[in-house]
Every structure is written in structure tokens, then in C-alpha cells.
């Protein structure tokens, strides 16, 4: 059974540009979560989607946004990129209200 898959693996963008990260959850999972792992800041919750709806968002500015598609895959968009957005972005999936999740390999975003 395939796990959570993320693309691309690495992404290099210039400050001010937009980045789009993609995630495919484990088959049967309806919830998708996005976490940011920045150097020195640890893992921080970004967004939670379930059944196409945003369920919760962490303490991040509105330029971090996303969506979930009917097939439960998800996209994270980061607009007006700043240098401090450089981080590993992890996607996770679970059944609704499972309380925990399976994580993907992550997308390493570098803003130069």
C-alpha cells in the first residue's frame, strides 16, 4: 500500500514568488495535514483539510493557503515567499479524528 506521497522533493524559489506543494494521502484517508519544519523552530502545524474543507489552521499568515481536491489530495500554496519560509514542509494523512497521522517524505523549500 502506498504511503503519503509529496511532490516535488525539492523546490527552489526566489523571494516574492509563489510556491505550490502537492500531497497525495494514503488511500481511504480523508484528512490531510500540513506541517512546517523550519530550522530551530521544530514542527509547527499549518493547515488541516478534511472532505474538501479547511478544518483548522495554525498561527501562520494568510499567504499560506491550500485546498483539498475531491480525490482527497491536497495542495499547499505559499505566496510572496520570504527567506524565512525556507523549511521542510511535511504532509500527513489520517482518517477523520484519528488523533494522529502518517507523514510523507516532505518537500524541501528553499527561498533565495
Partner 1 sequence: AQSVTQLDSHVSVSEGTPVLLRCNYSSSYSPSLFWYVQHPNKGLQLLLKYTSAATLVKGINGFEAEFKKSETSFHLTKPSAHMSDAAEYFCVVSDRGGGADGLTFGKGTHLIIQP
Residue ranges in contact with partner 1 by CB under 8 A = 4, 6, 31, 33, 42-43, 45, 48, 50, 55-56, 58, 90, 92, 94, 96-106, 108
The three cell numbers of residue 77 are: 500554496
Nearer to partner 1, 85 or 104 (CB): 104
CB of 16 to partner 1, least distance (A): 27
Nearest to 104 by CA among 32, 44, 13: 32
Minimum distance of partner 1 from residue 59's CB (angstroms): 12
Whether the Cβ atoms of residue 90 and residue 58 lie closer than 8 Å to each other = no
- Looking at the DSSP assignment, which residues form a beta bridge with residue 47? 34, 57
Q: Which is nearer to partner 1, 33 or 64 (CB)?
A: 33
Distance, CA of 6 to CA of 92 (rounded, Å): 10
* Of 17 and 60, CB closest to partner 1: 60
Amino acid at each position: 500500500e502506498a504511503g503519503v506521497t509529496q511532490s516535488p522533493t525539492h523546490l527552489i524559489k526566489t523571494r516574492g514568488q509563489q510556491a505550490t506543494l502537492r500531497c497525495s494521502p494514503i488511500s481511504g484517508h480523508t484528512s490531510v495535514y500540513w506541517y512546517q519544519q523550519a530550522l530551530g523552530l521544530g514542527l509547527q502545524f499549518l493547515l488541516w483539510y478534511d472532505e474538501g474543507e479547511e478544518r483548522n489552521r495554525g498561527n501562520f499568515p494568510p499567504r499560506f493557503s491550500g485546498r483539498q481536491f475531491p480525490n482527497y489530495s491536497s495542495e499547499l500554496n505559499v505566496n510572496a515567499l520570504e527567506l524565512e519560509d525556507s523549511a521542510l514542509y511535511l504532509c500527513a494523512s489520517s482518517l477523520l479524528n484519528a488523533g494522529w497521522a502518517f507523514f510523507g517524505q516532505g518537500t524541501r523549500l528553499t527561498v533565495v
